[in-house]
Amino acid sequence: MTEDSTPPPEPSGPGGSDATTAALPPHPHATAIGVSVAAGLVVLDQATKELAEALLTPGVFVPWLGDHIGWQLIYNPGGAFGLPLPHWVFLLVTVGVLALVGRILPRAPTALSATAFGMLLSGAVGNVLDRLFRPGGEVFGSGFVVDFVAWGTFPRFNVADSAITVGFAFLVLALWREERLSAALEVTPSVAQEDGSDEPPPGGDRTEDAAGGEPAPDDPDGPDGPGDPDGPDGPDDPDGPDRPDGPDHPDEDPRS
């Protein structure tokens, strides 16, 4: 009997399904979405900073929603939300964000993740433009960042800072949704195999049933091999134990 030498597929996850994470294809317009979001927010950030400098007096709080939410123009020598770090640290961070987003954005699988990357990019670019082109420090790249949104005792911030915060939240949400979508794509092939049933593949395994030891229905030769007319006891022996008595056996008297 010819046995199928192809080893059966080994299940690599619960229920025998393939546990490899299904890779989502890139969104066809991921780069366009991210760049458009980044460009629009950078323009909005710079425009609102110019407007704040034109309408507000530095350090003076102007209430908007009650006594704790409003506008207050502040020139920030530090980083986002007033982080006190050297200016070159933020320049390096901006370069790192640009390189990272430029590499990941074209492969973003959803519009939400592309939007999140665009918002992160706009936040980094919006504040670094202030450091490069606004007055402040004595060396190039140490200009002060314009902050003007006041919210209680929270450090003053701007549109670029808000874009970083909201973009990070969007990115976490996008990664969670993409993980759920990948898991759904993994389950789909297993369901298709269960529904499609018991039909064996062409030229499939016709080996005997491991439970009952019986040959497959299409095996006419049985378990002893193809075309074995002699059975398990070897070639046919006409003089076997059931042979009739006759003259070929000298030990017996043929007259008896």
Active-site annotation, residues: 147, 161
Q: Three-class SS of residue 88? A: helix
What are the backbone dihedrals phi and psi of residue 148, each rounded to the nearest 5 degrees, phi first?
Answer: -150, -5
User: What is the gyration radius of the CA atoms in the chain, in angstroms?
Assistant: 40
How many Å apart are CA 247 and CA 254, to the nearest integer?
6
Report helix angle 30-55 to 159-196, nearest 10.
160
* Contact present, 191 and 34 (Cβ < 8 Å): no
- Up-side HSE of residue 22: CA atoms within 13 Å toward CB? 17
* Contact present, 71 and 64 (Cβ < 8 Å): yes
Q: Which of 13, 27, 32 is nearest to 177 (CA)?
A: 27
C-beta atoms surrounding 147 within 10 Å: 25
How many Å apart are CA 252 and CA 102, to the nearest integer?
104
Strands, E, within 152-250: which ranges? Answer: 154-157
How many Å apart are CA 16 and CA 8, to the nearest integer?
12
